[in-house]
Amino acid sequence: MIVRFTVENYMSFKDETTLDFVSNSHIPFDPEHKYKFGRLGVLKNIGVFGANASGKTTILQAFKTLNELVLEPKCVFPAAFKGCKTKPTKFSLLIEYDKRFFEYSLAVLFDQTGGVAKITDEGLYEFWLNGKHSAIFINGAASNKPDVALDSEIIEGYKRTQGQPFLSYVSSEKWGYKSGRVIDAIRKVYEFFEKKLRFCLYDKQKRPSLSPELTNRIGNTIREYNLGIERISVSEAGGLEFYHTNFAEPFSFSEESQGVKNIVRLLCCLYGGSEDSVFIVDNIDAGLHPQFVRQIIADFQRRNREAKNQLVFSSHLPSLMDDVLKRDEIYFAEKNDLGVSSLKSLQEYKTRNRRESVANKYLEGRYGATPNLPIHI
């Protein structure tokens, strides 16, 4: 599970910005919304709301950029804030994985094409619930020689690399025969990036590829949604076939409505992960009726009562604030006149009446993060 994510000098987020998954202890425990590690409660859901071009997608994209830097040390676009290209972009991710807590930090300078010009700082720490922590490795790139209790063969090999995180280098197949406390911890964190982060960032051109088992599961769900689709199957060519009521011949994916396509893509993401995954979904309500969105999220929460899956999404649908989220699960993204984005938790605002509609107050402008439109519209 993600406990905390921090980013700085990334796209429109010039200043240090944190998405905190630690729950509010004053909000009653609900297994669909938080998981308890002793006294520490970690949120299972976070929704980010705001106007267009406020930074909602950007903060979710930051997760993916860090993931790509770890798994494939490269970036497809210059990621630093405009005017701060000579300063490093910084990421920090605190996670719980396999009953252990780790914080991984990475700071990189990007070149003009978006590639990694230099790693300026990197570190991995293990934390315990009693507040104690221990450094697993510290990689200050001035010497390109990590401070870590590993043999010289690995250290000397890394000194010859360019722009690759030490976490990635140690986890490569080249060192598969190595073992020990330090290297096993490094591999565990790498495994979290590799297997537990699933992204559904908006891409209307992408056609999902599903296994027969996942296809049946999604087909059963769509049948329950009463869309006139009886079942879904995979054709011999590998494409999806949709069998509608009163039609003998199946419809292809390209022949379906945009709404059905969006539902299939979303369910493919939410049903396709392994146990205890983090699902990061941009624009979760894209092209969908509000009741469908609410149902899909509520279904995810019910399935997740005993598990540690997390759902992080952006949305333009204020009703979700009242229908499926608790107060500590709501964040607002806003961009100022200088083009700098920021995040604020709903908890930063005083509430006059706990029973009042958060959605209504948001639309009235109490929390900001709404479009600044001309008065005559």
Task: Kindly report, as residue ranges, where domains of CATH 3.40.50 are found in the chain.
Answer: 2-31+48-199
- Provide the pLDDT for residue 203: 55
User: For 281, how many CA atoms within 13 A lie in the half-sphere containing its CB?
Assistant: 29
Give me 320's structure tokens: 């979700």
Whether 38 and 334 have beta carbons less than 8 Å apart is answered as no
**CATH architecture label of 2-31+48-199:** 3-Layer(aba) Sandwich (3.40)
Instruction: Say whether 107 sits in a helix, a strand or coil.
Output: strand
pTM for this predicted structure: 0.92
Instruction: State the DSSP H helix or E strand holding residue 116, giving kind and residue range, or none if neither.
Output: strand 116-127
Phi/psi region, residue 38 (left: phi>0; alpha: psi -120 to 50; beta: rest), is left
- Provide the pLDDT for residue 187: 94
- Provide the pLDDT for residue 74: 66
- Provide the pLDDT for residue 161: 78
- Provide the pLDDT for residue 330: 98
* Residues of the chain below pLDDT 70: 74-78, 114, 141-145, 202-209, 375-377
Whether 224 and 291 have beta carbons less than 8 Å apart is answered as no
| Cα distance between residue 41 and residue 24, in whole Å | 8
